[in-house]
Structure formats: C-alpha cells, structure tokens
Amino acid sequence: MNYQKLLEISDDWLKYAIRLHLCHEDKENLVDSRKAALADSRIKRYLADITDFHGMLVTNHKNPDLPIHKLLFLIDLGFGTEIPEIQAAVDEILKHRDENGIYQSMTNVPKHFGGTGEDVFSWCLCDAPLLLLALLKLGADYREHIQPGVEYLVSLCRDNGFPCAVSPELGKFHGPGRKDDCCPYATLIMADLLSHIPEYKNTQTAVSAVKALLSLWENSLSQHPYMFFMGTDFRKLKAPSYWYDIVSVAGVLGKYKFVREDPRFLEMIQHIKAKQDEDSLFTPESVYLKLKDWDFGQKKMPSPYLTYLCHRIFERLE
C-alpha cells in the first residue's frame, strides 16, 4: 500500500513511526524525522512521565496514564534506551523484582478485596507481562533479566489460557470471576509477550493462550470470564492498544502465523477492514477521555494513529 495519504495527515511524532514500521525506511535516513517526533510536546510529556516510573499506584490496569502504557506506546513508535528518560524507566523497573524474576508495580488492594490495604510492590498477571515485554523490546539481556520471570509466568498457564493470578503480597485478591476461568486480558498480554520470544512462540503454552482468545470470540454471546466481553463495545475501533478490544486482540493474534487462516481470526480482520473509508483510513468509534489531545481521542474524523495500528495488523497478513 502507498502510505502517502497517511503521512500527509499525520503529525511529526507519527510520521516517524510510519516511515520506520510501514514504509520500512532505514533508521539512519530518518534522523530529522526522529528529531521532529521527539520535539512534539506530547511526546516530551510522556517521556517526562515515565521517569518516575513507580510514582503512580497501579489500581486500574485500564488507566492510560499508567507509565507502563506510556512506555510501551513510545517503544512501539520506535524509541529506545538511547533516550535518557526511557533508560531511566528501565532502571526503575529493574530495581523491583521478586525471587521468581517477576517485576513488580506499586499497588494497593483494599482489605475488603482481599489485599492488605497498604501501598506495596507486588504483581498481577495483568501487569507483570507488560513489564517483561517492555524490557524485551528494549533489548534487555534475556537470560539475566527476562527468562526467569517468563518461565515462572508460563508455569501458570492452563488448558484454557492464563488465570487471574497475583503475588503473595496481594493476599487472596482475584478479579470478579470463577477461579477456574481464564482471565482474558492476562491471556492476551501473555500471548503478546510469548509472540516475541522464539523459544516460546510455537509452544503449547502460546497455542493455548491464542486458542482461548479465539474461543472467546467464537462464543462471545455466552462466555464473558471475569466480565471481559467481546460484544458491541469490544468491536468498536479504539486506540491505543492498551486494553481488551478488537484492535488490540487482532494485533496480538496476527503475530502467530498458524492463526492467519483461522476463520475466527479472519472474521475479526474483516470486521475491522469493513470500517475503513475510501482512503483506507479509520475513524475511532470509542476513545479514552484522558487522551483527547491526540488524533485518536476523538470520533469525528479519521485518526492517523488508529489507521497506523490497523495497517500494521494487515501488513503481517501479507
């Protein structure tokens, strides 16, 4: 596809990512584009926000203000540890790891939800994989910093995907569902993490996670574990890929070659493609209110960034 139209309507911060990831231009030829992207006030704000990485309590994993979401957003635009603020975030993540190799977040679970009611470094299976994913994408030493944690999290997998699981610091806390159900979001982000690790990508663990997500799509009218639905709201186009929605799920599933001919996955892709306009652009159908300063924080006109996300999914299928 010719991405000229998309480049014309994009801000500088996104032009760099489009040229790097969709047009596949050499990074060495994008020095000026990268400088322009980093000069954007919103990118500067995100970089400032991630330096105090554990300064915000993780009490709502859907919150787009969480530093881990901002860090992954910046990484996926093409920025790495050569940027001091991103290196600072990595340094903070590495400071808090338990005996199983799992990186921790600062959280507070009230006593009436089964926690201690105190601020404590701990982990949930709906945040720990994201920290490992960020380190992996940023080139941290796999054997030293990533493998132990991945091995432990993989050991939690069941036939129906990954459960709701937490570290001992959080006591008896678990989400609003049956213990034998999978947690769809934990399953999604574990599938994403494993897709980037060659030794795990084709294992039964990864296959189980992927098949669990496909099964939830197939049985979306009847199966809603932990109150994660694949209904009307799930099927609305939304960016960024922070949470549990069709762009996020299709974006992860498409990283697995064995899925690309599965009719359930192809149904998701057709659902997304049907919403593009004559210029192959996509308009958000749902937004995060906190992100109204970005092109994907409105529903009135095409969003270059949402379009970028969708075409990255499509490109993997070609």
**Strand, coil or helix: what is 62?**
coil
Of the listed ranges 65-69, 220-224, 266-270, the one predicted with least confidence: 220-224
Mean pLDDT, the chain, whole residue set: 95
What does pTM read for this prediction? 0.96
Return all residues near 13 (Cβ < 8 A) that are at least 6 apart: 36, 37, 38, 40, 42, 43, 77
Written as six digits, the tokens of 254 are 């498409």
> What pLDDT shows up at residue 52?
94
Q: Are 247 and 284 in contact (CB under 8 A)?
A: no
Q: What are phi and psi of 19, to 5 degrees?
A: -65, -35
> What pLDDT shows up at residue 171?
75
- Please report which confidence band the pLDDT of residue 173 belongs to, taking 50, 70 and 90 as the band edges: confident
Give the whole-angstrom CA distance, residue 85 versus residue 182: 36
Q: Are 251 and 219 in contact (CB under 8 A)?
A: no
Q: Between 181 and 275, whose confidence is greater?
A: 275
Q: Tens digit of pLDDT for each residue in 89-140?
A: 999 999 999 999 999 999 887 777 666 778 889 999 999 999 999 999 999 9
